[in-house]
Structure 1
Amino acid sequence: MSYDAFKNWYVGTKGTAATSVNQYLDSFKNVKFSDDGKAVDEVTDANDFSKRVQPLLDLKGSPEAEFRKIFVIEKDNLKFDDLKGGLGYYLEFLQSKLMNADNQEQAYIQFKFLLRRFLEQATKNKKNQGERSQTLGRDGFEQNDYYFESSIPFDHIVIAGHVFKVRLRSGPSYGPLKETQSTTVPFIQYDINDNRQVNIRVSFVNSEVKSFKVVFWNPGSKDESTDISAQIEDLDLFSDLAPNANLKKLYDSYTSIRTGETNLRVQKLAKKLETSYNIILRGAPGTGKTYLAQQIAADIISKGYFDDYTLLSDEQKKQVEFVQFHPSYDYSDFVEGLRPKTNDDGSMGFELQEGIFTKFVARAQRNYDNSQKTKEVIEKEKSIQEIMTEYFSNIEFGVDVLKIAHGTKFFITSVDDKHINILIPENPVSNKLSLNVNELREMLESDQKFNQVKDVAKFFVKLNATQGYSYDLAIYEDIKSKKTIVSTTVAKKEELKPYIFIIDEINRGEISKIFGELFFAIDPGYRGITGEVSTQYSNLHDNPDKKFSIPENVYIIGTMNDIDRSVDSFDFAMRRRFRFIEIKADERLEMLESLGEVLEEEAIKRMCALNNEISNIEELNENYHIGASYFLKLSSLSFEQLWTDYLQPLLQDYIRGMYDEEGIMKKFAKVYDFPPAKVGDGNDNVENQG
């Protein structure tokens, strides 16, 4: 365990200047436990530490002989009063960590019991009229603040500060009308504000609750999904074991939602992105631009319910992509390029592979296209996909023989998302061919009849048929000849979703080399087919005539440090396609709240003093300010370590080549309070002496 963690805890809880704890740390560093040679910070278990030091803490005074029985003393003039005081505080520190962990575990245990009681009573209310009840009752909740609100009716049960309201409602119309259905009652909820709640809904199967799902609810409106859900069988509610990982995840996700409390600054930036499509967050280093970009993405994807990226579900995170530019990054990484591959015969070759941005845009495009389709079209496409999946799963690759119209035999050797690979043994010139899966899918989805190869060519608006059309037709006819039973599941119309691409350090890459012809396509005024372009390798595509475009649901966030030497070379054509938003060092101070009130206050004081001095240097300005994210390192470092290991090297780089570098660094160190002033320094009042 780090001494810095203890130091931060001490400063945060005792309200004492950070330097006052150094006397305890100095004493710790000069002793080791005599029985096992461990240093003080190597004993991290509160109970173990208590057994070791409690006898010393119970003594009157600080007798040296007693301390030497427990510790190996490595310093002659050690102050045993400091050691004793420090040991007491360190024990309190370890116990506070243990208490916090115990409190969290208790919250999980109580939440597990709440869900179990809720599930039991919900099932009774549904299945047994004689056991229906409007309340869970007080039994089992003796450790919790509890009351029953009869007017609604609601149970109010408090767990770790969260007031959970349980609505059971008994009556002849209790629960879903059908035995298998989701329902609004019963539910568990907690209030975000007067007009918004977060609810746990239930789903019944054969009158049994089988799953929970978390939704947002506003009076007078429909539920809004959060993608937080859990199967009852995965929660292990009815065992005596400790809460499992699934239950803890449900509790953490459920109680972490901050609907309506999204950072106002994040919301404003999200609105700017939605109206401008492309923004760049620029400013001094350490202002949290990358983290802010993730917050903006989370705010937009969650529809403003939260800005914590970690709360997004795995499915929602597919709507975000992150990349960091660097000098060697190029078009082939970003858009598309030729990559080496090993052929089936062992020889080396090249194949065209999509870059990260192209793959991301394809996901967004699928969502955009699907959101424009009718329910009937979606159901038809789903049916065709099931038919194709069933067909290829029953094919024995390399064994089952197919024939084209002229009688040439061929085999299907493999199938992936894009291609159907076939072998044509009777063709001595080209015995391998790769067919486009989408072409076959489009033929099956159409209402046209294909009797000849020329029908296929006409369908794809080609003057001449390609070699592949003969084999497309053969597979099409084989699928049509087989009777495949597909499911009758009703398809759901897909919602249009936002997709956010984050480019960190966007100015460190050679922009024109990376984006190429996409300068036009990313322009906010040319989204969709109006901005479509042919990419550099379009002649190698399955369909060379198909152009690249960026749909309207794609948003781009770039980040850049203003002082980077590459800023001046940022492409002007790209500049006018982005909205530049400055993030100043003093606008992100809320990041330091996690340090605790006392440490936060000291960090802000030093940061502001340092930035003021930076602005006083003639050749520097606010672009060179130090951002708050540097000071987040104080959770594991001291102010002195932060200076020597991070800030001092950065500042030295700022002023390299200036006149009187040493004098400037002394000014920086002075306003930062490095080295810290010593208590009782004999020179304290020199300036005031006559």
Structure 2
Amino acid sequence: MATKDIYILKGKTSEQVNLAYIAFMGDKDATTKQIKDAENSNYAKIGTRQTVSEIVHKLYSKNCIFDLRDSESVQNVSGELSTMIADAACNPKEQKELKNLRSYINKYKDFLTYCEHLANVAEHKPEYNFTTDADKPFISEEKFLKIVSLLGRKKNIILEGAPGVGKTFLARKIAYQLIGGIKDENIEMLQFHQSYSYEDFIQGIRPSDNGSFEVRNGIFYDFCQKARRSEEPFVFIIDEINRGNLSKIFGELMMLIEADKRSKKYAIKLTYSEEEDDRFYVPSNVYIIGCMNTADRSLAIVDYALRRRFAFCQIQPEFNDTFQEFLSAKIGKENVGKIIKRIKQVNDMIQATPTLGRGLEIGHSYFCQSEEIQDFTTWWADLCDYELFPYIQEICFDNEDLGLELCNILR
């Protein structure tokens, strides 16, 4: 696959533009033969066609079509050919040749449109950097960058932690850092549930509009196809990953998502593939982030075979200086001190209880949803009565005395 630099046309000679055009036609995992065929095609020879050169010289005083670097100019050349086609109505042979020539020119216009898109993305894509992010997660920069590094190496990670530690929010920030900018079109997010299936995720048989059945690609299949047309990182985020039947949903992906299996060499025929040569692989620029809730006892344990394919990152409640500064702007520094003291005491007790543990601690996200708070006492009472206490009662369902003690600490 050609690097994107070849499609940056500014400062290039007409010969270099021609080479980039040939690469464009033979790109997307093309073989050497396919690239050679593209080089020898009539599409690549438009720079030597006299009719085209005459039009280019007439409109823009240029000698070659490859001296034109914007799609609008090439569209004008195509328009001139359309006029010539209409004038040659009495000469079918000439008209056919001119139509073919226009088709070749339109292909070059498509190439320039692609190059313009890349240049526009490079110019307008907002950069992302954890250090300068005003809405950054509360975890330390060192830990954040470590997780990004793990994702880059392993290609698949799972953020696991108690409810309310900001796993989903953190996942998108990690994606931005890996991509190098805020580019949501390179990110897909979904949530697993008990009814989610391989047919939804990869490929399956679905009813068609005419009443019959057809093979329809799933969301991850389409995402991989989209990523294959680019060199940029693409990040697939799966919220509540352990709520689904992972072995059933992933199917052949058990092998294909491994970091060293991300190439066409390992492409395999999927369960519902209709053609023998219809094979699928996960591109090397696709990264998977799973978010896993460790509090729900009803969720299945992650399959050991799948566990080996992921790096697991523990995400813990963060009540550090960054969090305190954030919340102080809403409820005042003194009130923040009171809250943190109580929450830390409760979390220490939860962590020390054998039947509970770190995975059931109270997360910081409970305190991040509120806008400007007018009355701290009312806000805190509502938060406790309708969010924190029900959660504590749930995790302490078999130890009511402990649940009552934890609630009293928070009051």
With structure 2 as the length reference, what TM-score do the two structures score? Answer: 0.62
Greater fraction of residues in helix: 2
Larger relative contact order, structure 1 or 2 (CA cutoff 8 Å, min sep 6):
2
The Cα shift of 1:267 comes to 2.2
The Cα shift of 1:257 comes to 6.9
Q: Give secondary structure in 2 for the equivalent of 1:584.
A: coil
Q: Give secondary structure in 2 for the equivalent of 1:271.
A: helix
CA contact (8 A) 2:319 2:340 kept: no
C-alpha distance in 1 between matches for 2:320 and 2:237: 19
Partner amino acid, structure 1, of 2:305: A
Where do 1:468-507 residues align within 5 Å? 496-507=231-242
The Cα shift of 1:601 comes to 3.3
CA contact (8 A) 1:287 1:585 kept: yes
Partner of 2:308: 576
The Cα shift of 1:588 comes to 7.1
Rate the CA distance shift 1:226–1:535 in 2: closer, same or farther, 3 A: same
Larger Rg: 1
Structure 1 residue corresponding to 2:151, chosen from 273, 278, 291: 273
Rate the CA distance shift 1:632–1:592 in 2: closer, same or farther, 3 A: farther
Rate the CA distance shift 1:588–1:562 in 2: closer, same or farther, 3 A: farther
C-alpha distance in 1 between matches for 2:366 and 2:202: 34
Rate the CA distance shift 1:587–1:357 in 2: closer, same or farther, 3 A: farther
CA contact (8 A) 1:279 1:579 kept: yes
C-alpha distance in 2 between matches for 1:535 and 1:323: 22
C-alpha distance in 2 between matches for 1:600 and 1:286: 18
Q: Give secondary structure in 2 for the equivalent of 1:557.
A: strand
Partner of 2:345: 609
Partner of 1:518: 253
Q: Give secondary structure in 2 for the equivalent of 1:274.
A: helix
Partner amino acid, structure 1, of 2:179: I
CA contact (8 A) 1:613 1:671 kept: no
CA contact (8 A) 2:128 2:180 kept: no
Where do 1:295-314 residues align within 5 Å? 295-302=173-180, 312=182
Aligned length: 278
Partner of 1:619: 355
The Cα shift of 1:524 comes to 1.2
Partner of 1:356: 219
Where do 1:313-332 residues align within 5 Å? 316-332=183-199
Rate the CA distance shift 1:363–1:600 in 2: closer, same or farther, 3 A: farther
C-alpha distance in 2 between matches for 1:559 and 1:588: 22
The Cα shift of 1:569 comes to 2.9
CA contact (8 A) 1:324 1:503 kept: yes
Q: Which runs of no fewer than 5 residues in structure 1 stay unpaired? A: 1-179, 182-223, 229-252, 304-311, 368-495, 675-690
Partner of 1:104: none
Structure 1 residue corresponding to 2:404, chosen from 666, 673, 681: 666
Partner of 2:229: 366
Q: Give secondary structure in 2 for the equivalent of 1:555.
A: strand
Where do 1:107-126 residues align within 5 Å? none
CA contact (8 A) 2:196 2:244 kept: yes
Greater fraction of residues in strand: 1
The Cα shift of 1:669 comes to 2.0
Q: Which runs of no fewer than 5 residues in structure 2 stay unpaired? A: 1-68, 71-120, 134-140
C-alpha distance in 2 between matches for 1:592 and 1:558: 28
Rate the CA distance shift 1:296–1:226 in 2: closer, same or farther, 3 A: farther
The Cα shift of 1:566 comes to 4.8
C-alpha distance in 2 between matches for 1:289 and 1:588: 17
The Cα shift of 1:671 comes to 1.7
CA contact (8 A) 2:242 2:300 kept: no
Rate the CA distance shift 1:257–1:283 in 2: closer, same or farther, 3 A: closer
Where do 1:521-560 residues align within 5 Å? 521-539=256-274, 543-560=275-292
C-alpha distance in 2 between matches for 1:591 and 1:667: 26
Structure 2 residue corresponding to 1:227, chosen from 113, 117, 124: 124
CA RMSD of aligned residues (A): 2.7
CA contact (8 A) 1:588 1:628 kept: no
CA contact (8 A) 1:266 1:295 kept: no
Partner amino acid, structure 2, of 1:652: Q
CA contact (8 A) 1:592 1:628 kept: no
2:165 aligned with 1:287: yes
Per-residue CA deviations over 1:96-155 (Å, capped at 9, x if unaligned) read xxxxxxxxxxxxxxxxxxxxxxxxxxxxxxxxxxxxxxxxxxxxxxxxxxxxxxxxxxxx
Rate the CA distance shift 1:555–1:645 in 2: closer, same or farther, 3 A: same
Structure 1 residue corresponding to 2:326, chosen from 586, 594, 600: 594
Partner amino acid, structure 1, of 2:238: I
CA contact (8 A) 1:527 1:550 kept: yes
Per-residue CA deviations over 1:246-282 (Å, capped at 9, x if unaligned) read xxxxxxx7xx976853644322211110011100011
Q: Give secondary structure in 2 for the equivalent of 1:558.
A: strand
Per-residue CA deviations over 1:314-372 (Å, capped at 9, x if unaligned) read xx2111100110000001110011221232xxxx11122111100100011111xxxxx
Partner amino acid, structure 2, of 1:630: Y
CA contact (8 A) 1:592 1:632 kept: no
Per-residue CA deviations over 1:66-88 (Å, capped at 9, x if unaligned) read xxxxxxxxxxxxxxxxxxxxxxx
The Cα shift of 1:613 comes to 2.5
CA contact (8 A) 1:607 1:628 kept: no
